[in-house]
Structure 1
């Protein structure tokens, strides 16, 4: 089995992307001196260095990288060494312009940014394999090497290419996946609009068409593009495994950013030796720490619950949003330790030294333009000391309370054209459901719809438009076995090929929910509906309503107005030893909290009302002990109850009864026993 922890790293990972090639060599010694002052344990090197490592075809200059790695090793800094295949050199594109990707509209991108790659291009694949081989041969047993870092952020900014090379590759993929042209016709429903094929050679990528194209073809192309990128990762990974045994291989994911929804991380998580993730706060007015927690929970889930590493985030502001505010004092440490609480084996950044040139010169860094006499630098040094104190948590696992189902294939299908309402946003539903669970102080595992769910008393389905029969059967078995399920509207509608399940909606979920849906009735902008129940508060919904017919389910809330007035809006179905809830409209935070509160009662999950809002409490446990993380995201001091006494690792103080967590601070208690 490949190694799954960075070789030689005995503490939590702390550091960032290090780009010494951007600086004169006399700066390098200052860098390593400051790295030691900050407590840096690992840096990522060489990710965009192909043009310097191979300045001309077959001509190599490894001298500068030799000196960098030797210098880092001399100062006790481990190295996450990149294969620079996200940035082929200008000479490569000059020789192979067809390796540049083509858009759906037939426009070929130009060189001058990053990751402008046609992943089907044979010349790119050969060149990537060659530079990876040369790097592995030279550095595979270097004493500084801890981890191999393949490519960079697959899928950003380009995941799919629509050129002729991709067309030929797509046909080969279709043959491997479907077998015959008749099977493709069946899967895609090509009898509609006369799209029938008699030979696979007639099939092209879903390029620009006069009106909406075939949705099943578009869905398969998303799968093909993802699989093609993954083929290239696996090719590089296998070279590294062969030439550098014992060193784990990763690539940095971006699990919860909507900008990177082109990658099926469930599949990718099975291919890397160690899951790593990049996470940047989206400052759009929402509570950024909630999205951060969601990203960390999702990444841990992709890792199968095993420890993972936050490989990139920012010390302060980023540079690519319309507005890029700085982080408040203390926020960097709180953000970093929130990831650690949810399973990360450290906190790393982009980047070590802030660039003076290029597209990201205004992106914050560990060492800012202003140098060491800055707030950011002082906070970096403090964080390094905190992470050193938290070394005992290495190898422990985060404990979760509930599961949320998540499937990238369903998102791809949901986001295709001509759905009942463009106002229904699957990601918005996932974010809102997660935020309600977060505010109930429940830690979330994400799960694939066909995964074993038996250890979770409560499973939530925020939006799963695409659901296989196997997933439906899995959920039925979960509920019959005693689980509690909550499903939101427009879930279970189509199969893996975007074909509507036979019979009434919601096809894959009819039996477990104990109901059918006669018709969807989306609302117009600004319209709302009122939901009532005999013995409880009214709720308000918008965006979506449905004509629900109970088939064993009991209405809990009903529509009081609109086209669906008098019909069930929220239902509860007892099945076997468990219960399934259905929510047929878009509820806001308050309404969802009311429903999830009832479902949590069914699941036997006690309320945690003693915990203040925005004070996050998460546990990690394992053979090394049990650790309670308390993160105060508020401007007010808080107290967190402790079930047993323990030692607070960041201050060294003993804690018992109630743990004091100052405003904006983090406390980590190793519990006794």
Structure 2
């Protein structure tokens, strides 16, 4: 697909604005439900996710159903020209089911069955749970599949976790039998079975990893994580059978996540595999704005990285399925967004490819764990408070952005993210146990382009490398022969490739390559990395590059040259004056190796050289200071330019072309002043 073509992923040609609506919590308050419909109009919202945790309200007793309340809610939303994203309720089963069918309860890695409570603690393998979810989903599809308000399906909610019950152990063994052609010798070879006498002689001896007696069989650990992803997807596929049968033209999604403690991609599931089973990617974003450990611009950059990763999983616009208009209730400190930040943070999502701004939640719960989580409607039930007015402002702005819907973002630069490599690296008992930080390292490289407004696709290993001029693969610890061959073809065909320390060390089974670095990697990069030195936190070194000195910490690779050109050298330690940064021309392309973890300024200067060589350009040029971000979405007739001030002060910008302000309708050019947290949305007609 050309990046200039439009893709209406939800078959809607307008920006979705609204969010999770839980009327099932207010069924005894018809006055509240009536107020909701009025407030939806005042807030300029148009789309609501309904039924996510409503199983107990839909089926209060086994086989006894109550859909009448949901009928009215959907009809009422449609009466104000609203749309519904209808959820399947499998994320939180009713108590009667746990009581009557205890097999649906999850077993933790200590082999202890969990009690009813919380949510997302069901067994993905349980035949009973699979049967019950299919049945309720069929009833929903039969009843609402033809409703004109139905925009898309929201399957379950935030899939995650794992079960270690006997059924799941059996499913794991069946997964392994299929993977290894029912041959235990092949499995033992892949897992390096003789180590510590871990050779298996019968399939029944294999169990999932446990925190009681930590597994040292890294191949087993890696395959278990793969199994958890595959079993989660298999459960999802079971859920959607009646939905695909009865509503084949209604798109489906499920909401992906980011790590809740540090804003990095969710680690427990391989979303690159899951994405293939969805029509639309959606995710739940909750950055801790105004925190005390990083600047607003640094946090915005990390948000942009995840946006670009999730957008690229299907190379089409994604949906922001959940966000907060104010604060959450589960950060260590739950700080409110400052004036201006809600519009700015919302528009950033649009700038990086979202066709929606949706919230958790529409109305605050009165009780339980989310009663203080941010919402559009607070406990005061008022449209006059600051948060509600901020939401209305976002809604009014989104109503002017229908031309952006369905558009993508062009990029000549790609950074490769790989879930399996990260799993294996984190499991590796080596290097620095606290300093591996694979996702954070990729973000460090991403920064060099984000600060220069150079668009970046964050891709996975299955995607087309040839679509890019520059491919960056930092710390790609696990890499298969197939991927190495594709990297070789990419460089041979004229691509520029950058990799770093701790790359290319193990194959897809987490077994090291023998005979030094893989021969194809040695050919591409013209080097052989022979040793990795790991630093204590207080250890430092210096690298000389382009007549400047840069600080190095955490890792340094000792490099043997095999045809490469030395671009930078270490200045200290027993490998002083040896190569630290190299380049190598291979056939029609070029490959760079960065041997150590270097400071941000090195990446700015290093990538600026490559940007110059490859003539990489921003999608639209705006002169600005650090902390202002310019992102572009490209439509067939226009470029939509988002200029965002992520700093705490006013910032001057200069626009050399004559463009139109989408919000005000005014023509704009020359020097402008952006207020703190201000965003300008511009249109450049072609």
TM normalised by structure 1 equals 0.95
2:632 to 578, 602, 619: 619
Instruction: Give, in whole Å, the separation in 2 of the partners of 1:352 and 1:250.
Output: 20
Instruction: Give, in whole Å, the separation in 2 of the partners of 1:118 and 1:258.
Output: 26
- Segment drifting more, 541-550 vs 663-672: 663-672
Q: 1:595 to 1:654 in 2, by over 3 A?
A: same
Aligned partner of 1:161 in structure 2 is 163
Q: Partner of 1:569: helix, strand, or coil?
A: strand
1:300 to 311, 315, 319: 311
Aligned partner of 1:253 in structure 2 is 256
Instruction: Give, in whole Å, the separation in 2 of the partners of 1:340 and 1:459.
Output: 25
Aligned partner of 1:40 in structure 2 is 45
Instruction: Give, in whole Å, the separation in 2 of the partners of 1:466 and 1:408.
Output: 10
**Contact persistence 2:48–2:85 (CA under 8 A):** yes
Q: Partner of 2:240: helix, strand, or coil?
A: helix
Aligned partner of 2:555 in structure 1 is 544
Deviation at 1:420, TM superposition (A): 2.3
Query: How do 1:446-461 and structure 2 match up within 5 A?
Result: 446-461=458-473
Instruction: Map Cα deviations across residues 197-234 of structure 1 (whole Å, 9 max, x no partner).
Output: 23323222123454542011000000000110101111
1:266 to 261, 272, 277: 272
**Contact persistence 2:134–2:241 (CA under 8 A):** no
Query: How do 1:168-317 and structure 2 match up within 5 A?
Result: 168-180=170-182, 181-208=184-211, 210=213, 212-254=215-257, 257-258=263-264, 260-282=266-288, 285-286=293-294, 287-304=298-315, 306-317=316-327
1:505 to 501, 511, 517: 517
**Contact persistence 1:529–1:561 (CA under 8 A):** yes
1:322 to 328, 332, 357: 332
Please say if 1:111 is aligned against 2:122.
no
Aligned partner of 1:524 in structure 2 is 536
**Contact persistence 1:121–1:165 (CA under 8 A):** yes
Q: Partner of 1:593: helix, strand, or coil?
A: helix
Instruction: Give, in whole Å, the separation in 2 of the partners of 1:350 and 1:421.
Output: 38
**Contact persistence 1:501–1:508 (CA under 8 A):** no
**Contact persistence 1:501–1:507 (CA under 8 A):** no
Instruction: Give, in whole Å, the separation in 1 of the partners of 2:518 and 2:18.
Output: 48
Instruction: Give, in whole Å, the separation in 1 of the partners of 2:201 and 2:475.
Output: 36
Q: 1:369 to 1:209 in 2, by over 3 A?
A: closer
The size of the alignment, in residue pairs, is: 666
Q: Which runs of 5+ in 1 are unaligned?
A: none
Instruction: Give, in whole Å, the separation in 1 of the partners of 2:521 and 2:612.
Output: 22
Instruction: Give, in whole Å, the separation in 1 of the partners of 2:98 and 2:264.
Output: 29
Please say if 1:57 is aligned against 2:68.
no
Q: Partner of 1:459: helix, strand, or coil?
A: strand
- Segment drifting more, 257-266 vs 25-34: 257-266
**Contact persistence 1:15–1:41 (CA under 8 A):** yes
**Contact persistence 1:493–1:507 (CA under 8 A):** no
Deviation at 1:645, TM superposition (A): 2.2
Q: 1:42 to 1:397 in 2, by over 3 A?
A: same
Instruction: Give, in whole Å, the separation in 1 of the partners of 2:598 and 2:11.
Output: 50
Aligned partner of 2:3 in structure 1 is none
Please say if 1:573 is aligned against 2:584.
yes
Aligned partner of 2:658 in structure 1 is 645
Query: How do 1:406-555 and structure 2 match up within 5 A?
Result: 406-422=417-433, 423-505=435-517, 509-533=521-545, 535-555=546-566
Please say if 1:337 is aligned against 2:337.
no
Instruction: Map Cα deviations across residues 614-644 of structure 1 (whole Å, 9 max, x no partner).
Output: 2111111122422111112124444444464
Deviation at 1:282, TM superposition (A): 3.6
1:665 to 654, 673, 678: 678
Aligned partner of 2:35 in structure 1 is 30
- Segment drifting more, 362-371 vs 323-332: 362-371
Q: Partner of 2:376: helix, strand, or coil?
A: coil
Instruction: Give, in whole Å, the separation in 2 of the partners of 1:19 and 1:308.
Output: 23
Deviation at 1:505, TM superposition (A): 2.8
Deviation at 1:38, TM superposition (A): 1.4
- Segment drifting more, 7-16 vs 242-251: 7-16
Deviation at 1:511, TM superposition (A): 2.2
